[in-house]
């Protein structure tokens, strides 16, 4: 079963964990912070060994600031000559020193008034003093937090043995109280042997922006006792072994991660193939014989084998079992990695997979899958196992499980996405069909409305009074406008539905036809049109003609200059042709330049400039059919330049 180290719940009592958190979250403290988890020696203070003010304050200030923010009583024991510098450092790093001092939440105590009170250092007096300080502080505040300089130890000639005795006593005072401390050791002021002892006696050490669990730590009772050398040797040998094991474990884990990455990131392999490679990797890594991915439903007590590595008498895809008759129940119960290495001992000896299938050991993890059946990823063997599974093995398996989860969810999203795209396409096709049918079928009744209105007008012209005549004119006008709109919509709809017929199109010839078709409009306005040298491109000729017809006709229409001038040109780019149609017309407000490509969107009234608002949407549709783009550069009153790109095709 899963064996996880439980963190004891100390949330009520202020512990070193909170100090670690302060450093972890602080931007001043840059280095790694090792957690206390799993480390046996716990006491309530850190030692900071530093060699510069920057290093000192990078740890001390966040530690203190956190205490103030949490409503604790904070005390900084400082040598008189350092006082101003400490205050300045606090201010610089965002502590509202004056307000905190005034409220009493922060005090700066001198060494003379604490450790050396009464003239010299006395272990018992100081221990009692801290007991009183803590009692008093915690009566009023959330907790007590101490930062203390220690240079006085050297100056007062305190021996390290004395100081150790004090440390162990003062630890008892802090122990179990809402109180933590950070002792500051300035390496520049201590002799090397002194620092060596400081390192030995503090289980939690901060140095050079790093918080470490200290494997040189020697508990006080061992440090001073007669068996000190023996303990020292034990510790050294133990440390050597621990470090070697940790190093090997790390490099094993690294190798495993690299292989896992190799297996799962191969873009040429299918999910099934990757899964088989994953099974192989797991069997090797965990020394087990078979890997399987199962669909599970804990509520229905159901498991179905989905994928399996190799041939097996019992475990085959499609085989269904009661979940509770498998070891996967253990993983499902905790929804994470679980292991069984001794079925009898762990009371799994009455389930089918043990009794009938002969499975002797199991390592499996639960894989919750969003939007789909949950899975278990499991490895088993029919060989009895001598060793229980390690935490590292369970972690490796969980990593594999996470990949499976990601893949299955990704496949699920992909399927949903494809369905949505298919639905969208269907509805888009229906819409196009509708627009086409509507515009096509509307033409006939509209033509009738116009003709009969015309007939009315012609036949009864003499009988109609002025107002009736005016009404009929409005009606004829409306019907004509609607006919123009329906006609344009039909062209738009045709382009939308078109099977584009790409072939070489000589753009010079296209422009010649466009200008001929618009001769009347051009002559009426005395417009000057100049056409640069245009290429032959691979395009749908008819659509290209519609595109230029709209752009040229707009350039003349939305133009008050005399004479209106239009310049058409083209330039070759690496992957496309860029055409420009520039005019000296009325221009467009840049904020509205995107709107003009929308269907029926017009920036002007019909009386001012007649039109249907479809021309540019049609241009956009055509350009999209040619994998291109269309946009306009313009300023009101300064003409407009429409840009059109058409992607080059193999034939260009
Ligand atoms: P229509 O010309 O039928 O109104 P378009 O889709 O061709 O429809 O044009 C949409 C709007 O864009 C026009 O109503 C006009 O306000 C603006 N527009 C188009 N071309 C130009 C141009 N060359 N100069 C200024 N405004 C233009």
DSSP sequence for 449-488: HHHHHHHHHHHTTTT--HHHHHHHHHHHHHHHHHHHHHHH
Q: Kindly report the protein residue whose alpha carbon is nearest to atom 20 of ligand 1.
A: 554
> What is the pLDDT, as a whole number, of residue 9?
39
Ligand 1 contacts CB of residue 612 (under 6 A):
yes
Ligand 1 contacts CB of residue 640 (under 6 A):
yes
Q: To 5 degrees, how large is the angle CA 64–CA 70–CA 74?
A: 40
Sign of CA dihedral 316, 317, 319, 324: positive
> What is the pLDDT, as a whole number, of residue 43?
61
Q: Which residue out of 547, 567, 596 has the highest number of ligand 1 atoms within 8 Å of its CB and is therefore the one to mutate?
A: 596
Pairwise CA distance, residues 448 & 102, whole Å? 93
Q: To 5 degrees, how large is the angle CA 127–CA 232–CA 152?
A: 35
Pairwise CA distance, residues 406 & 277, whole Å? 17
Q: Which residue out of 602, 606, 637 has the highest number of ligand 1 atoms within 8 Å of its CB and is therefore the one to mutate?
A: 602
| Matching residue, tokens 């850190």 | 46
Of residues 231, 110, 114, 126, the one with CA closest to residue 168: 126
Q: How many whole angstroms from 633 Cα to the centroid of ligand 1?
A: 13
Radius of gyration of the chain (CA): 42
Pairwise CA distance, residues 113 & 78, whole Å? 10
Ligand 1 contacts CB of residue 564 (under 6 A):
no
Q: How many whole angstroms from 554 Cα to the centroid of ligand 1?
A: 6
**Dihedral (C-alpha) 9, 11, 17, 22: value to the nearest 10 degrees?**
150
Ligand 1 contacts CB of residue 597 (under 6 A):
no
User: pTM (2 decimals)?
Assistant: 0.56
Ligand 1 contacts CB of residue 553 (under 6 A):
no
Q: How many whole angstroms from 535 Cα to the centroid of ligand 1?
A: 26
Q: Kindly report the protein residue whose alpha carbon is nearest to atom 25 of ligand 1.
A: 587
In 382-437, the DSSP E strands lie at none
Q: How many whole angstroms from 566 Cα to the centroid of ligand 1?
A: 15
Write out residues in the chain with pLDDT < 70, as ranges.
Answer: 1-13, 36-43, 220-221, 223-225, 650-652
pLDDT tens-place string over residues 263-292: 899 889 999 999 999 999 999 999 999 999
> What is the pLDDT, as a whole number, of residue 13?
62
> What is the pLDDT, as a whole number, of residue 2?
36
> What is the pLDDT, as a whole number, of residue 3?
36
Other C-beta atoms closer than 10 Å to the C-beta of 110 total 14
Q: Kindly report the protein residue whose alpha carbon is nearest to atom 8 of ligand 1.
A: 613
Pairwise CA distance, residues 573 & 205, whole Å? 64
Beta-carbon contacts of residue 532 (< 8 Å; ≥ 6 apart)? 567, 568, 569, 570
Query: How many residues make up the chain in this entry?
Result: 652
């Amino acid at each position: 079963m899963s064996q996880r180290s439980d963190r004891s719940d100390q949330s009520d009592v202020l512990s070193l964990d909170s100090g670690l958190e302060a450093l972890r979250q602080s931007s001043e403290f840059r280095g790694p912070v090792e957690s206390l988890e799993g480390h046996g020696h716990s006491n309530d203070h850190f030692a900071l060994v530093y060699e510069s003010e920057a290093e000192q304050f990078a740890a001390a200030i966040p530690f203190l600031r956190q205490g103030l923010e949490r409503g604790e009583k904070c005390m900084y024991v400082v040598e008189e000559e350092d006082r101003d510098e400490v205050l300045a450092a606090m201010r610089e790093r965002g502590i509202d020193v004056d307000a905190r001092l005034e409220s009493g939440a922060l005090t700066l105590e001198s060494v003379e008034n604490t450790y050396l009170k009464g003239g010299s250092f006395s272990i018992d007096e100081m221990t009692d003093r801290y007991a009183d300080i803590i009692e008093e502080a915690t009566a009023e505040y959330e907790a007590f937090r101490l930062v203390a300089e220690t240079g006085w130890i050297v100056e007062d000639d305190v021996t390290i043995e004395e100081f150790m005795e004090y440390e162990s006593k003062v630890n008892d005072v802090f122990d179990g109280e809402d109180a933590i401390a950070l002792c500051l050791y300035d390496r520049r002021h201590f002799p090397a042997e002194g620092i060596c002892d400081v390192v030995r006696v503090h289980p939690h050490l901060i140095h050079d922006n790093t918080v470490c669990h200290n494997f040189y730590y020697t508990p006080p009772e061992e440090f001073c006792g007669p068996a000190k050398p023996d303990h020292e040797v034990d510790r050294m040998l133990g440390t050597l072994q621990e470090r070697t094991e940790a190093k090997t474990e790390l490099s094993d884990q690294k190798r495993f991660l690299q292989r896992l990455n190799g297996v799962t990131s191969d873009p040429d392999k299918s999910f099934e193939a990757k899964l088989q490679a994953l099974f192989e990797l797991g069997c090797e890594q965990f020394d087990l014989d078979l890997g399987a991915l199962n669909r599970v439903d804990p509520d229905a007590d159901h498991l179905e084998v989905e994928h399996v590595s190799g041939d097996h008498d019992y475990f085959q895809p499609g085989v269904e079992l009661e979940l509770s008759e498998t070891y996967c129940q253990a993983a499902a119960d905790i929804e994470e990695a679980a292991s069984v290495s001794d079925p009898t001992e762990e009371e799994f000896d009455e389930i089918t997979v043990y009794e009938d299938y002969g499975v002797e050991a199991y390592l499996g993890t639960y894989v919750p899958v969003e939007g789909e059946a949950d899975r278990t990823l499991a490895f088993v063997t029919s060989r009895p196992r001598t060793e229980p599974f390690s935490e590292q093995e369970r972690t490796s398996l969980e990593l594999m499980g996470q990949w499976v989860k990601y893949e299955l969810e990704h496949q699920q999203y992909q399927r949903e996405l494809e369905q949505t795209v298919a639905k969208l396409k269907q509805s888009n096709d229906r819409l196009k069909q509708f627009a086409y049918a509507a515009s096509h079928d509307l033409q006939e009744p509209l033509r009738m409305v116009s003709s009969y209105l015309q007939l009315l007008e012609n036949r009864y012209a003499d009988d109609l009074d002025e107002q009736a005549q005016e009404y009929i004119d409005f009606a004829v006008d409306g019907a004509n406008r609607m006919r123009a709109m329906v006609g344009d919509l039909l062209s738009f709809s045709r382009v939308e539905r078109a099977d584009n017929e790409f072939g070489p199109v000589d753009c010079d010839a296209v422009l010649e036809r466009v200008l001929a078709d618009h001769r009347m409009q051009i002559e009426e306005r005395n417009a000057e049109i100049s056409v640069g040298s245009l290429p032959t491109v691979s395009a749908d000729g008819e659509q290209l003609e519609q595109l230029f017809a709209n752009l040229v006709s707009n350039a003349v229409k939305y133009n008050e200059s005399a004479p209106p001038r239009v310049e058409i040109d083209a330039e070759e780019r690496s992957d496309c042709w860029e055409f420009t149609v520039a005019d000296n017309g009325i221009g467009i407000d840049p904020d509205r330049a995107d709107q003009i490509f929308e269907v029926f969107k017009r920036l002007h009234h019909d009386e001012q400039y007649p039109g249907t608002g479809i021309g540019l949407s049609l241009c956009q549709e055509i350009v999209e059919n040619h994998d291109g783009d269309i946009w306009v550069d313009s300023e009101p009153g300064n003409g407009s330049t429409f840009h059109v790109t058409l992607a080059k095709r193999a034939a260009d």
